[in-house]
Amino acid sequence: MKIAAADILKETQRTLDIVAKADLTDEERDALTETTVSAYANYVNPGILEYRKSVSTEYISIEWSDSANTFNDIKGKKYIDFLGGYGVFNVGHRHPKVIAAVANQLKRQALHSQELLEPFRAILAKLVHDITPGDLQFSFFGNSGAEAIEGAMKLAMLHTGRKSFVAAVSGFHGKTLGALSATAKAKFRQPFLPILPDCYHVPYGDADYVESILKSADEVGNDIAGVILEPIQGEGGINVPPDDYLPRVRDLCDRYGALLIADEVQTGMGRTGRMFCVEHWNVVPDILCMGKAFGGGVMPIGAFVSNKTVWEQLFPEPWLHSTTFGGNPLACVAAIAAIHVTLEEKLPERAEKMGNEMMGRLKALRRRFPKLCVDVRGKGLMIGIEFPSDAIGYEIAKGFFDNGVLVAGTLFSAKTIRIEPPLTITTAEMNQALGVIEKVFKEVNARHFEPPKRPGPARR
């Protein structure tokens, strides 16, 4: 032990006392800020600290509390959440029904013994069957979207007896080793190569490339187990495919015996105006992966769901894929509550309506600032705004943050800013945020794309 147990007890008790407080004094805020910065620098990662500091305004912002569609930093400054935790907060921050479900379960039991049957896992699995398209029936629950992708890849290998996969350029599926094989950013992959052998990447949105890979693999005997695609690419830049893309890929997978794996980790649970994004094109995948918003913005949970024919490989050997914390009672009741709220408040329909209005107003801004704003694209409340360069995209995002609106670029590029607010965002909050966007557009456009004003004639 590096320091005395008595000192650790004092430190942990101080922290628990802070957690229990509704309000902090100025001295406590300053002390907690100093502690946070020091601990990031010495025990978490100084690189993260430097990045976060560069986004802050006149002080280092530490996130402290949240409610509905906003959050507050430790100094009390309020921000409209136009990022939504990269798709986590579809039902808003700390929705009362999700919080109540988790609190009620916590009074009874937090985690289960692992050995007996767990009722809420069973109920949730049935609900997932009910809300997903087509014949998807059996579910496995993990703790994240990356875990869902890992499980989906293993299931595809079991069912097909094949080991190879096709994914898309600019696709993002997670950073665990299997999911990283499908993820397409070189910077994330190269330090860990070789990962899974024979994971091919093709341009997104072009079914001809998918057909070429499947045909070639079939001819040389290196058959493909699965094609892994996001219905709309999130981290890649909010890339929306042509309307014939997913239906064609579905047909190609059927023709060549590969499974279609839909990564709905970011697009699912109403985000794009449908409960699941593949429903825009009436496509039923063989395996569908969920995460992020699935836990109602309160508990982490991911899932992959498939049909009976594919899942039969796991019937005789259910322990070929297992997890300690996946499908725990707290996470499952949070997901059940999230499904309830999503349907009760008609959030997919709301996302479509609000998204159409926001897209229209953002496209109007694009027409006003054509040199600054390259493109506006998306579906529902999953919208991307593209700028000429990473530097300008970052400058725009920082300007939004300075004015109380949180957005972010993508892991692939800062030149595309994502707009993914909670689906519960109000009209007043949307109007306020769009006002900030217009203000920052004017400022950045003036700095970069308007000629400097000439001084007028000197007065006598």
Q: How far apart are the first and last CA of the chain?
A: 79
Q: Is the peptide bond before 194 cis (omega within 30 degrees of 0)?
A: yes
For 86, 131, 139, the CA distances from 279, given in Å and listed in that order, are 21, 11, 19
- The label of the residue with tokens 């700095």 reads 447
For 227, 252, 279, 439, the CA distances from 246, given in Å and listed in that order, are 11, 10, 10, 38
Give the single-character DSSP code of 19: H
Pairing of strands 287-290, 199-202: unpaired
Three-state DSSP state, 289: strand
Examine the residue annotation and report whether 107 is marked as an active-site residue of this protein: no
- The label of the residue with tokens 């305004």 reads 57
391: tokens are 């530097």
241: tokens are 């495919």
Pick the closest to residue 147 from 294, 284, 278, 273 (CA basis).
294
Examine the residue annotation and report whether 263 is marked as an active-site residue of this protein: yes
Examine the residue annotation and report whether 26 is marked as an active-site residue of this protein: no
Q: Hey, how many other C-beta atoms are within 10 angstroms of the C-beta on 97?
A: 17
Catalytic residue among 89, 120, 138, 292: 292
Give the single-character DSSP code of 410: -
Identify whether the C-beta of residue 205 lies closer than 8 Å to the C-beta of residue 145: no
For 140, 230, 355, the CA distances from 128, given in Å and listed in that order, are 10, 19, 25
Calpha distance 416→163 (Å, rounded): 34
Q: Hey, how many other C-beta atoms are within 10 angstroms of the C-beta on 442?
A: 15
Calpha distance 376→397 (Å, rounded): 15
Catalytic residue among 172, 304, 387, 401: 172
Identify whether the C-beta of residue 368 lies closer than 8 Å to the C-beta of residue 397: no
DSSP secondary structure string for all residues of 51-115:
HHHHH-SSS---EEEEEBTEEEETT--EEEESSHHHHT-TT-BT-HHHHHHHHHHHHH-SS--SS
Calpha distance 383→428 (Å, rounded): 19
Catalytic residue among 263, 294, 304, 400: 263
Q: What are the catalytic residues? A: 172, 263, 292
